[in-house]
């Protein structure tokens, strides 16, 4: 019997990591998420920022804002997409029954796809950093250690969003997959990844302030302006995150009950 920590079986978690690694290795399209899109996004937003700089009308460096914005947006994007698509791989290959009839527990499965997600996140951020440095001579590492808690908050927000997406796929089937990307871009728009939330329409600003990711992006801009890390903003982000996470765990637990009660496993047989 393999070792356990907090009741989690390491070998089973390792099996999920191994399975996802095979898919990543052989699924060429999977490399778009970690290698291609980060570079494409860096070019789009970095060039917009550079153009604004060249017009000379902005008080702050547009390129720096855009490039930091794209780095942090990719934290949210990669952490959400890696976990959500990790689960969806089982629905796409109709493998859900095979997995669900093994001894693996839901939390072990989730731990496995989160570990894979961490590796993909590191790869995606590495690509953005490299592209910003080689194409725009901008060193994103200059943000320093302040980036660590900001990235931590955004990563946790991304994982929580993946819980909601997986819950929706369990409840509504593969048609709900579009939400993995749709919800992500709504949250990115509302969180002010590339602009202060004052720039949003008045109607949307209260929604924006309620999102933990908004406070993380605002904290990053504050640091970029040369100020110390605003811990009060990060505190609000953590409070919002705790609520978001508790609701996410409750939601996915409820959706798993519904999935078993209504026999939705038959969708994948």
Partner 1 sequence: MESAIVARGLEKSFRGAPAVMGVDLRVEGGERVALLGANGAGKTTTLMMLLGVITPDAGTIEMLGHLLPHERSTAMLGVGFAAGYLPLPDKLKVRELLGVYGRLYGLPDPDDAGDRALRRFGISPLATQMASELSSGQRTLVGLAKATMHHPRLLVLDEPTASLDPDVALRARAGIESLCEADGTALLVTSHNMTEVERICHRVVFLSHGKVVADGTAADVAAQFGRPSLEDVFLHLASEEL
The site for partner 1 (CB under 8 A) is made up of 1-2, 9, 11-12, 14-15, 18-19, 22-23, 25-27, 89-90, 92-95, 97-105, 257, 260-263, 265-266, 269
Q: Where are the beta strands (DSSP E) in 161-267?
A: none
Sign of CA dihedral 246, 247, 253, 256: negative
Contacts 24+ apart (CB under 8 A), 23-26: 23/89, 24/116, 24/120
Name the residue nearer to partner 1 (CB basis): 26 or 226. Answer: 26
In this complex, which beta carbon is closest to partner 1, that of residue 98 or of residue 134? 98
Q: Which token pair is 222?
A: 């504050």
In angstroms, give the least distance from the CB of 107 to partner 1.
10
CA quadruple 152, 78, 208, 226: dihedral positive or negative? positive
Name the minimum Å distance from CB 98 to partner 1.
Answer: 6
Least Å from the CB of residue 22 to partner 1: 5
Minimum distance, C-beta of residue 159 to partner 1, in the bound complex (Å): 23
Closer CB to partner 1, residue 198 or residue 261?
A: 261
Q: Which two tokens stand for residue 165?
A: 């997406």
Of 163, 182, 176, which Cα lies nearest the Cα of 248?
163
Beta carbon of residue 219, minimum distance to partner 1 (angstroms, whole number): 39
CA distances from 194 to 176, 188, 198, 256 (A): 28, 9, 12, 36
Q: Cβ closer to partner 1: 41 or 177?
A: 177
> Cα dist. 82→9, 31, 74, 123, 224 in Å?
22, 11, 11, 12, 28
State the DSSP H helix or E strand holding residue 9, giving kind and residue range, or none if neither: strand 8-9
Determine the Cα–Cα distance for residues 39 and 190; give it in Å rounded to an integer: 23
Q: Least distance from C-beta 89 to partner 1, angstroms? A: 8
40/258 with CB nearer partner 1: 258
d(CA 190, CA 186): 6
Looking at beta carbons only, is 106 or 225 nearer to partner 1? 106
Nearer to partner 1, 112 or 158 (CB): 112
Smallest distance from the beta carbon of 249 to partner 1, in angstroms?
18
């Amino acid at each position: 019997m393999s070792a356990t920590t907090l009741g989690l079986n390491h070998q089973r978690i390792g099996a999920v990591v191994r399975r996802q690694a095979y898919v990543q290795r052989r699924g060429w399209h999977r490399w778009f998420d970690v290698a291609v899109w980060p570079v494409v996004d860096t070019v789009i937003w970095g060039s917009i920022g550079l153009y604004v700089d060249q017009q000379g009308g902005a008080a702050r460096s547009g390129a720096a804002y855009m490039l930091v914005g794209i780095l942090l947006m990719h934290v949210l994007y990669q952490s959400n997409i890696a976990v959500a698509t990790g689960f969806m791989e089982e629905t796409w290959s109709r493998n859900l029954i095979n997995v669900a009839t093994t001894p693996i527990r839901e939390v072990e499965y989730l731990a496995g796809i989160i570990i894979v997600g961490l590796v993909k996140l590191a790869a995606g951020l590495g690509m953005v950093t490299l592209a910003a440095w080689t194409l725009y001579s901008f060193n994103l590492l200059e943000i320093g250690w302040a980036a660590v808690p900001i990235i931590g908050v955004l990563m946790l927000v991304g994982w929580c969003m993946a819980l909601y997406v997986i819950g929706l796929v369990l409840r509504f089937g593969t048609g709900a997959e579009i939400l993995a990307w749709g919800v992500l871009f709504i949250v990115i728009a509302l969180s002010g990844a590339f602009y202060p939330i004052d720039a949003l329409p008045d109607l949307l600003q209260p929604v924006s302030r309620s999102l933990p990711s908004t406070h993380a992006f605002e904290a990053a801009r504050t640091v970029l302006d040369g100020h110390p890390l605003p811990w009060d903003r990060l505190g609000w982000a953590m409070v919002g995150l705790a609520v978001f996470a508790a609701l996410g765990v409750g939601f996915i637990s409820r959706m798993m009950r519904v999935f078993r009660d209504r026999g939705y496993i038959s969708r994948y047989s």
